[in-house]
Chains A and B, each alone.
Chain A
Amino acid sequence: DAKTTQPTSMDCAEGRAANLPCNHSTISGNEYVYWYRQIHSQGPQYIIHGLKNNETNEMASLIITEDRKSSTLILPHATLRDTAVYYCIVSTSGGTSYGKLTFGQGTILTVHP
């Protein structure tokens, strides 16, 4: 699986958009970009994933660059409850990955009042 690089930490004001970047310059054509988050003392939570196109769901939007070497997770209106560690993971979907997720250090997002 391709490796990812994320900033160690980021701050965001409550109510503003939080834009979390991720670099994955060695991503292969069949690898997806997945985002998870882990709120303190809880299990990780799936947020969103994408292959090429931008994706949006009730939690967030995922913007993937045309060359697929980087992506941005957008939380449109951050709340205090969005304070968490956010993980960007690159992996194939099923198949030979067998659902194996490789978590890096992630980005600690702190949302301030």
Chain B
Amino acid sequence: DTAVSQTPKYLVTQMGNDKSIKCEQNLGHDTMYWYKQDSKKFLKIMFSYNNKELIINETVPNRFSPKSPDKAHLNLHINSLELGDSAVYFCASSRRTYNEQFFGPGTRLTVL
């Protein structure tokens, strides 16, 4: 059983489009995260939700909107995609807000 899953694995789209990435965890964790890894391989946190409540919101353009319908899901919607949004996006989860986080396999987003 996959602990943290993301869909899709690859996403290729045109500038200006709107797209969503989905994340699900079956670990019973109540905290979920979105990270972005750019072309230089730097991994940076974007958002974190605890019990469906936003607790971390780094300096991310408001074109990015996370949504947590329940504790097991954290989706990322991106409006008006730009070239600079091309990256690998990782979802993660943890028990409460602890730092032992389980990461998903990543979604490689390419904006043309």
Using a CB–CB distance below 8 Å, which chain A residues touch chain B?
32, 34, 38, 41-46, 49, 85, 87, 89, 91, 93-95, 97-103, 105
Contacts and interface: CB of A to CB of B under 8 A. Distances in A.
Contact of A46 (B41, B43, B48, B100): B100
Interface string B68-112: 000000000000000000000010101011111111111000000
Given A43-B90, A98-B48, A99-B94, A49 B105 contact: no
Contacts of A38: 43
A95 B55 CA distance: 11
Given A91-B99, A98-B56, A99-B31, 16 more contacts: A34-B99, A34-B100, A43-B104, A44-B90, A46-B102, A93-B98, A94-B99, A97-B97, A97-B99, A98-B48, A99-B48, A99-B94, A99-B96, A99-B98, A99-B101, A105-B42
A100 B102 CA distance: 13
